Amino acid sequence: MSAGRGRRLARGGRRGCLPIVAGIVAIAAALWLFWSFRDKLAPPPALKGKVLYVHAIDVGQGDSHLIVTPERKAVLIDAGSAEDGPRVVAFLRRLDIRELDLAVATHPHADHIGGMGYVLEAVKVKSFLDSGQEHTTLTYRRMLEAVKKHVGRITIAKAGQRFILDNGIALSVLGPRQPWLQNVSGSDLNANSILLRLDYGNFSMLFTGDAEDETEARLLSDEAPIDVKALKVAHHGSRHSTKELFLRAAKPEIAIISCGATNRYGHPAQATLDRLRRAGVTLYRTDLHGDITIAANGEGRIVTTARQAADADLWRGRRPEASNDSGDDLPGRPSGQ
């Protein structure tokens, strides 16, 4: 009987050890996973000092960028299409921005100004900057009505204008200038987009709207200060811009493309991606990364994205399904859609 009890106790002892062993294995596995993926799990290091933020808001096949200074001055450059207005306003409210010091309509195409009326209804805007290019669409007329109602007056952009946002932070207008570019390879409205350069310490960024090849050529001939750290790639990565000579002069280290994941226009174009890759930039795309944020303190910078993107996808262009990639209203669609 004594021996039997001993055997039963021994078997019970082995059963008692199993949960302990399983626990040790689970802890070891968790530690292995933590150390394997610690770089992915860890939040990005915080920048010290006064931080400037540039947000590329994911509005699909459109453009919308937000600048927020250390003193909470806010500038909105474009607002996507009409259906993107609520998303842009939600983005502003998430950052507790109730007032825009400046709103910019780079040019009057629906994928850049469609959401602007909604923004003007929801957020106080002190000043409004327009390219001076008129359009015939309902979208454009609605934007003008909203500006008249909520802002009162429009400032027409001219090369040489400068907006001091904070002490040491400036937004300079590089274009358009007269005479207007006409009969260009793509769209005259695109070619005369507002071009903006943002400067803060050793950080600089160029916002190009839907600039065309001819726009870039004019900047080069004017010897405009286009050498920057970051570039908002023109026209959603269209084949009509971001040419070799321009990239050599700009020398960007970061490039951001704003485009839709299911767009019909072949944005970004493979040829444009190839040129950017040869230029050695670090590339970000809203169709793959979602919202993109650059944080800069005048000395260093950090880029964060809403999603990860595979390198193979990053450098792969899209095939066009529509012949019109100007950003204008497509034939057969109601004006302003």
Model pLDDT for residues 260-303, shown as the tens digit of each residue: 998 999 999 999 999 999 999 999 999 999 999 999 999 999 99
- For residue 262, give the 3-state DSSP assignment: coil
CB atoms within 10 A of CB 145: 12
Asked if residues 49 and 169 have their Cβ atoms less than 8 Å apart, the reply is no
Please give the angle made by the CA atoms of 326, 63 and 296, to the nearest 5 degrees: 140
Which residue, 86, 104, 94, is CA-closest to 147?
104
Cis status of the peptide bond prior to 176, with omega within 30 of 0:
yes
Does the pLDDT of residue 331 top 50, yes or no?
no
Q: Which residue has the higher pLDDT, 24 or 73?
A: 73
The pTM of the full predicted model, rounded to 2 decimals, is 0.83
Q: Tokens for 19?
A: 């949960």
Q: What percent of the chain has pLDDT over 90?
A: 75
Q: How many residues does the chain have?
A: 337
Strand order, beta sheet including 230-232: 162-166, 169-175, 195-200, 203-207, 230-232, 254-257, 282-285
Does the pLDDT of residue 25 top 60, yes or no?
no
266 torsion bin: left (phi>0), alpha (psi -120 to 50), beta (else): left
State the residue for tokens 């793959």.
Answer: 288
Q: Over range 315-333, report the average pLDDT.
A: 63
**For residues 118 and 115, what is the distance between their CA atoms, to the nearest angstrom?**
6
Q: Which pLDDT belongs to residue 335? A: 30
Does the pLDDT of residue 208 top 80, yes or no?
yes
Model pLDDT for residues 86-113, shown as the tens digit of each residue: 999 999 999 999 999 999 999 999 999 9
Pairing of the two strands 124-125 and 155-156: unpaired
* Mean pLDDT over each residue of the chain, to the nearest integer: 86
The CATH class for the domain spanning 52-314 reads alpha beta
Using pLDDT thresholds of 50, 70 and 90, give the confidence band for residue 2: very low
Using pLDDT thresholds of 50, 70 and 90, give the confidence band for residue 325: low
- For residue 8, give the 3-state DSSP assignment: helix
Q: Which pLDDT belongs to residue 185? A: 77
- Domain residue spans in the chain? 1-42, 52-314
